[in-house]
Amino acid sequence: MSTPSTAALSPLYRAIWRWHFYAGLLVLPFLLNLAVTGGIYLFKDELNSLIYARYLHVEPQAEAQLSPDDIMARAQTALPGTATSFLPPDAADASAVVTIKSDAGKQRVYVDPYSGDVLGVLDDGGAARSPIMLLIRKIHSLDYFGWLANRVIELVAGWAVVLVVSGIYLWWPRNKGVGVYKIRSGAVKRPFWRDLHAVTGLYTGAFIVFLAITGLPWSGFWGDKVNAYVNQAGIGYPTGYWENVPVSTVPMKDAMTAVNWTLENAPMPESTPTGAPAFSLARAIATFDQLGMAKGYAIDLPQNPEGVYTASVYPDSIADERIIHLDQYNGKILFDAGFKDLGAGGKAIEWGVSVHMGQEFGLVNQLVMAAACLAIVLMCVSAIVMWWKRRPAGSLGAPRYPSDYRVAKGAILILAILGIVFPLVGLSILVALAIDFMIPRDWRTKTA
C-alpha cells in the first residue's frame, strides 16, 4: 500500500513494510489461483447446467417416472458395476443420476427418468457434481497436486491475514500522500497503481480476511485440528446421537458422496443384519421424502451387510442442510441431524463455509464473493506492477531492513499472535525471521 517519503520511514514502519513485501512475494501466485478458481466455483451450478445440459435436463412428460430401482437397473445395464449412490430428479425436467464403481473407477450414469434412456456417462464429480468443477475445486485447494501442496493453503490463508493487517497499517493516515480513499488520476503512473492497490485493499480487506478464515476448515492441518477441538468441546456435531446406535470405524467423509465439515470425521452408523434382504431404493426414497428432506438430496447406498441408506443435502439455505442414515433392513432411523442440531462452533463454521461458497444469500452472495475475488486479482496485479516499476536494476527491490529491529516489537507481537492461531504460519514466520536475521548486512543493502 502507499508509503510516505523515505526520510519519514520509522523503523517500525520499515519492518512492517518489509514483511508486507515478503508476505506478498510468498503468497501472490497462490492468491491469484484461489481468486480465479474460487470465482469460477462460485457459479458451479450455473456452469454445470450450461456445460452439461444434455446430461442434466430432460423433456418433462405427462406419464409417471420410472421407479428408482428400474432407473438404477437401466444404469447398471449400460455400465456394469456396483451402484454406490443415487441422485433422484429434483425437478420435472431433471435427469436421475446413478454413480457406479467399476474397474474404470467411479462414473456417473445420467438417465431419463421417464423413458429410462441413458443420456451419457461422466467421471464422478462428487460434491462438485461434474468433472470440470471437481478439477476446479481440486486446483483451488491444491489437492490436485498432492497432500503437501494442500498444506500450502493454510500458509496462504494465514499470510493473507498478515497482508491485510500490515496493509491497513501501511495505509493508515500519518503523512501527506498516505491514506487515500479513492484512486487519484494524473500523469504519474506509479501513484495510480499504488492507489489502486491501497484503495482496493481498504474496501475489501474484511472480505479477504473472511474468505481466508472460512476457507481454512478445508486445510489438512488446521482444519482437522479445529474439527477435533470443536467436536471434543461439545460445540460441533450432536454426540448424543451415537449413544444407542451401532457405529463403524469408517468416518462419514470416506463413505458419503458429500458431508458437511462438522460431521466429516464422525463415524458411519451400521445396520444390524437380520437375515432378511435389504429393502428397496424406492422405499428408502419414500422414507426420506416423508421425513421432509429438501429437494436435491443424494443417497449413498449400502455397500455391505452393515451398510446404511444415507441421504444428505446441502442446499443454498444452510438451515435446510441435513443428513439421515437408515438401517437397510428395517428402515430404522439411525441418525437424523441438520443445521439446527449442531453446536455453536459447528453452526458458525458451517455458516461461514456456506457464505464462502456463495450459497447462503443467493445471487447477491455470489456477486459479493466474486467481487472479492476480483479485488484480490486487482491487488495482485497492481502489486506486481508497483514492484516492477520501483525495483532498482539488479536488485529484488525489497524495502530496506530497519536500522533498529528492537523498536518493531509491535510487529513481532502481531506476527506471534497470528503464528499461535495458525501454527504452520507461525513456523514459517520463525523460519523467515531466522533467515532475515542471518542475512549479512551488506547483502540486505544489495537486495533492497
The pLDDT of residue 196 is 87
pLDDT at 176: 54
For residue 312, give the nearest of 322, 302, 327 by alpha carbon. 322
For the cut 60, the answer to whether the pLDDT of residue 159 exceeds it is: yes
Buried b (16+ CB within 10 A) or exposed e, 350-389: bbbbbbbbbbbeeeebbebbbebbebbebbbebbebbbee
Q: Helix or strand or coil: residue 142?
A: coil
Give the count of beta carbons closer than 10 Å to the beta carbon of residue 185.
9
Give one word for 3, left, alpha or beta, with left for phi > 0 and alpha for psi -120 to 50.
Answer: beta
Give me the pLDDT at residue 243, please.
78
Q: Looking at per-residue confidence, does 22 or 255 come out higher? A: 255
Q: Which three cell numbers stand for residue 141?
A: 485447494
CB count in 10 Å sphere of residue 181: 11
Average pLDDT over residues 140-164: 82
- 441: confidence class by pLDDT, cuts 50, 70, 90: low
Q: What is the pLDDT of residue 1?
A: 46
- pLDDT tens by residue, 208-248: 999 999 998 888 778 888 888 898 888 998 777 777 889 99
Interval 188-213: pLDDT, tens = 555 788 888 888 988 899 999 999 99
DSSP string covering 324-335: EEEETTT--EEE
Q: Is the pLDDT of residue 100 over 60?
A: yes
Q: What is the pLDDT of residue 3?
A: 47
What one-character-per-residue DSSP string does 313-374 give? Answer: E--SSGGG-EEEEEETTT--EEEEEEGGGS-HHHHHHHHHHHHHTT-TTHHHHHHHHHHHHH
Backbone angles phi, psi at 99, to 5 degrees: -90, 125
* Average pLDDT taken over every residue of the chain: 86
CA neighbor of 266 nearest in space, from 236, 244, 291, 294? 236
| Grid cell for residue 367 | 456477486
What's the rounded Cα separation, in Å, for the pair 444 and 437? 10
Q: Which long-range contacts (CB under 8 A, 24 or more apart) does 91-96 make?
A: 91/295, 92/60, 93/57, 93/58, 93/59, 93/60, 94/56, 94/57, 94/58, 95/55, 95/56, 95/57, 95/58, 95/119, 96/65, 96/68, 96/71
Residues linked to residue 227 through DSSP beta bridges, in sequence order: none
Query: Is residue 396 within 8 Å of 21, Cβ to Cβ?
Result: no
